[in-house]
Amino acid sequence: MQRFTEKVVATMKGAGLYASQGGPIILSQIENEYGNIDASYGAPGKSYIRWAAGMAVALDTGVPWVMCQQADTPAPLINTCNGFYCDQFTPSLSSRPKLWTENWSGWFLSFGGAVPYRPTEDLAFAVARFYQRGGTLQNYYMYHGGTNFGRSSGGPFISTSYDYDAPIDEYGLVRQPKWGHLRDVHKAIKMCEPALIATDPSYMSLGQNAEAHVYKAGSLCAAFLANIDNQSDKTVTFNGKAYKLPAWSVSILPDCKNVVLNTAQINSQVASTQMRNLGFSTQASDGSSVEAELASSTWSYAVEPVGITKENAMTKPGLMEQINTTADASDFLWYSTSIIVAGDEPYLNGSQSNLLVNSLGHVLQVFVNGKFAGSSKGSATSSLISLTTPVTLVPGKNKIDLLSATVGLTNYGAFFDLVGAGITGPVKLTGPKGTLDLSSADWTYQIGLRGEDLHLYNPSEASPEWSKFTTPAGDDPVAIDFTGMGKGEAWVNGQSIGRYWPTNIAPQSGCVNSCNYRGPYSASKCQKKCGQPSQILYHVPRSFLQPGSNDIVLFEQFGGDPSKISFTTKQTESVCAHVSEDHPDQIDSWISPQQKLQRSGPALRLECPKEGQVISSIKFASFGTPSGTCGSYSHGECSSSQALAVAQEACVGVSSCSVPVSAKNFGDPCRGVTKSLVVEAACS
């Protein structure tokens, strides 16, 4: 670890990147979340932390070092917070700044799990609360979602997609309204900066579950008003003025008077995206295009043999742990043994027996005499497998081949290096009169598959002529829909786009149609796609593609129909916004907290996502009490007849538009009711 850390620091110093050298690096980190597990190691764990801190400081970077989630971080290092909320975190020493190194914008997806997401309003609330209560630095994890290409997933059963519901998604597109609303939150906090850096906040109760924190130094004043009730909206009095605070929200007042933003009131637009299915256009040998329904005729196949085929296979007594055996050179490890059957063995019932295999996981396939006999898999919550499957044995020699596969390796937790994987046993044949335990028998081991050794995934090295396809036109992000396939790995032009597993289905329960952002968030609170495949779409970066012909290679472990897979592109279908009369003005209408402006009122703004696009049509517009979400809005009982015409006049033919949200603009369809404006537009 010391050699590694010294190498990193030397590289940074050599490039002049530390702030002490005039560069951009202002912090360095040593260790990560070790404090969550160090109790399991007792005194040596504490000794290790002291050593790590001393080793880091001795490298003399000229910038502070931090330790995340380590309450007893040795001085002069700074302990920091990771989590969904860090407003109540307090540094171990009062002289240390309050740092939030991982603000979790969502949660990771597991194969076999529902898709988690974190509401925008809650994430914004967490950010504002942190700065309200004296926060100094906040960092998102993740701000840009990603993809676990190849075999790089960060733990057992973690999916290939690592989108994380981040403000910028896995495909590099901004996720609205999360990206836009967080942008506005940080603009509002930036407006408070002169007061925030001048003093510490003072606390003021505004009633039950309502409070203010005020940063005041001389003529500088900034305030945060919070309603931490997770059910009821409140009207509070602050400095003699009434303020409406929605439940679970923070209002930011850069001048201690005017609300420039409330975390529960989103002014930024929403983007409705769709994955457009392009089919799977392949190229036949004569160069002609073949559409998806005929694609099966263009595929070449290589059958992976069952059992041991490599000369470097090794035979040892007993069952070996998989990770230490493979050194993670492959997901796969073959276990092979054979037995001689006379026909009267106590574990037989005629020619039948039951084969029991226990494994640490993650996926197990059983073959007897070269024929498939059963399979099982673990899960993200438990990798353990206990498979009992009926098998048919023949007189004489019988061969038993077990294929164990990992799906990402454990990389966190106390003693995670000892968790292991693979077939641990027992492995037994059982019948009505007895049992044969094969656990201590001689087993032959083969690391990986023959196709891996032959580099069949790389068309430039492999002899088969694999299926070819043409690059989808345009510049929209590309994905492959693996509907129809089982489990495996895919390569495009020799580059792995990751493991696919569309047959791993999420539980039927645990999802909600609409997640209430109010109240503490957890990884299981807001989930979607219950009862559906955890992941169907797999990102193919356009940098992996080339003009003209491209190769695609699939390794399919369970059997599938490649003619059913298709290409998709991610496109913005609509841009929408929903702004009410009691929303604050758009953040950009405030020039500075010190400058008194004439209140212009809230406004709805729309902007096409791509340069060169203009708003071509208004799909829906309503001023009154509309409801629904982008793509499925409906008019309420109260609706202005002028809404569509006003929106069309303001927005059609331009790349962006702003529409004041007021009865002056639309007429008043229902007096005494707080009204909203909803607009859905198409860009082209």
Joined together, the tokens standing for residue 603 give: 């406004």
In a domain, 254, yes or no: yes
Claim to verify: residue 546 and residue 596 sit in the same structural domain = no
Claim to verify: residue 441 and residue 329 sit in the same structural domain = yes
pLDDT tens digits, residue range 465-497?
A: 677 889 999 999 999 999 999 999 999 999 999
All residues at 6 or more sequence positions from 501 whose CB lies less than 8 Å from its CB, including other chains: 111, 159, 407, 486, 487, 488, 534, 535
In a domain, 209, yes or no: yes
Buried b (16+ CB within 10 A) or exposed e, 189-212: bebbebbbeeeebeeeebeebbbb
Claim to verify: residue 539 and residue 613 sit in the same structural domain = no
All residues at 6 or more sequence positions from 350 whose CB lies less than 8 Å from its CB, including other chains: none
Instruction: Output the pLDDT for position 292.
Output: 38
Taking the CB of residue 55, how many other CB atoms lie within 10 A of it? 14
SS3 35: helix
In angstroms, the CA 521 to CA 25 distance is 32
Is residue 585 scored above 50 in pLDDT? yes
Residue from 569, 610, 549, 609 nearest 473 by CA: 569
CATH number at residue 233: 2.60.40
Claim to verify: residue 478 and residue 546 sit in the same structural domain = yes
Joined together, the tokens standing for residue 257 give: 């008077």
What is the four-CA torsion angle of 210, 215, 217, 218, rounded to 10 degrees?
-50
Q: Which residue range forms the structural domain that includes residue 520?
A: 272-277+294-303+454-570
Confidence class for position 460, pLDDT limits 50, 70, 90: confident
Instruction: Output the pLDDT for position 284.
Output: 41
Claim to verify: residue 605 and residue 566 sit in the same structural domain = no
Asked if residues 48 and 69 have their Cβ atoms less than 8 Å apart, the reply is no
Claim to verify: residue 298 and residue 318 sit in the same structural domain = no
Q: Are strands 65-68 and 78-83 parallel, antiparallel or unpaired?
A: parallel
In angstroms, the CA 576 to CA 269 distance is 5
Is residue 597 scored above 90 in pLDDT? no
Instruction: Output the pLDDT for position 498.
Output: 98
Instruction: Output the pLDDT for position 293.
Output: 36
Taking the CB of residue 381, how many other CB atoms lie within 10 A of it? 11
In angstroms, the CA 483 to CA 538 distance is 11
pLDDT tens digits, residue range 158-201?
A: 999 999 999 999 999 999 999 999 999 999 999 999 999 999 99
Claim to verify: residue 561 and residue 632 sit in the same structural domain = no
Instruction: Output the pLDDT for position 377.
Output: 97
> Using N-to-C axis directions, what is the helix angle for 42-57 and 2-14, rounded to 10°?
20
Residue from 590, 578, 599 nearest 181 by CA: 578
Claim to verify: residue 357 and residue 462 sit in the same structural domain = no
Q: What are the residue ranges of helices labelled H in 15-66?
A: 42-57
Phi, psi of 648 (to 5 degrees): -65, -45
Instruction: Output the pLDDT for position 548.
Output: 86
Phi, psi of 374 (to 5 degrees): 155, 165
In a domain, 592, yes or no: yes
Report CA torsion sign: 12, 13, 14, 20. positive
In angstroms, the CA 404 to CA 332 distance is 6
Q: ω before 55 within 30° of 0 (cis)?
A: no
Residue from 316, 315, 317, 312 nearest 330 by CA: 312
pLDDT tens digits, residue range 255-308?
A: 999 999 999 999 999 999 999 998 765 444 444 343 433 344 578 889 999 999
Joined together, the tokens standing for residue 504 give: 């791993």
Beta bridge partners of 1: none
pLDDT tens digits, residue range 58-79?
A: 999 999 999 999 999 999 999 9
Claim to verify: residue 430 and residue 462 sit in the same structural domain = no
| Final residue in a domain of this structure, among 522, 545, 570 | 570
In a domain, 285, yes or no: no
Confidence class for position 459, pLDDT limits 50, 70, 90: confident
Taking the CB of residue 456, how many other CB atoms lie within 10 A of it? 20
pLDDT tens digits, residue range 359-383?
A: 998 999 999 999 999 999 999 999 9
Instruction: Output the pLDDT for position 464.
Output: 67
In a domain, 161, yes or no: no
> Between 546 and 592, where is the model more confident?
546
| Final residue in a domain of this structure, among 570, 601, 621 | 570
Beta bridge partners of 220: 217
Joined together, the tokens standing for residue 588 give: 């950009």
pLDDT tens digits, residue range 82-103?
A: 999 999 999 999 999 999 999 9
CATH number at residue 655: 2.60.120.740
Tell me how many domains the chain contains.
Answer: 4
Residue from 112, 123, 111, 113 nearest 165 by CA: 123
Is residue 598 scored above 70 in pLDDT? no
In a domain, 250, yes or no: yes
Find the mean pLDDT for residues 508-526. 96
Claim to verify: residue 576 and residue 541 sit in the same structural domain = no
Q: Are strands 137-141 and 99-104 parallel, antiparallel or unpaired?
A: parallel
Residue from 306, 317, 258, 278 nearest 590 by CA: 258
* Integer angstrom CA distances of residue 182 from 47, 172, 193, 374: 40, 17, 16, 50
CATH number at residue 470: 2.60.120
pLDDT tens digits, residue range 394-445?
A: 999 999 999 999 999 999 999 999 999 999 999 999 999 999 999 999 999 9
Claim to verify: residue 586 and residue 528 sit in the same structural domain = no
Instruction: Output the pLDDT for position 465.
Output: 66
Confidence class for position 596, pLDDT limits 50, 70, 90: very low
Find the mean pLDDT for residues 139-154. 97
Confidence class for position 592, pLDDT limits 50, 70, 90: low
Type of residue found at 155: G
Claim to verify: residue 613 and residue 566 sit in the same structural domain = no
What is the four-CA torsion angle of 155, 158, 159, 165, rounded to 10 degrees?
-110
Find the mean pLDDT for residues 144-167. 97
Find the mean pLDDT for residues 306-322. 97
Is residue 335 scored above 80 in pLDDT? yes
Tell me the residue length of the chain. 684
In a domain, 383, yes or no: yes
pLDDT tens digits, residue range 194-245?
A: 999 999 999 999 999 999 999 999 999 999 999 999 999 999 999 999 999 9
SS3 562: helix
3-state secondary structure 250-263: EEEECCCCCCCEEC
| Final residue in a domain of this structure, among 399, 416, 449 | 449
In a domain, 127, yes or no: no
Give me the active site residues, please. Answer: 33, 102
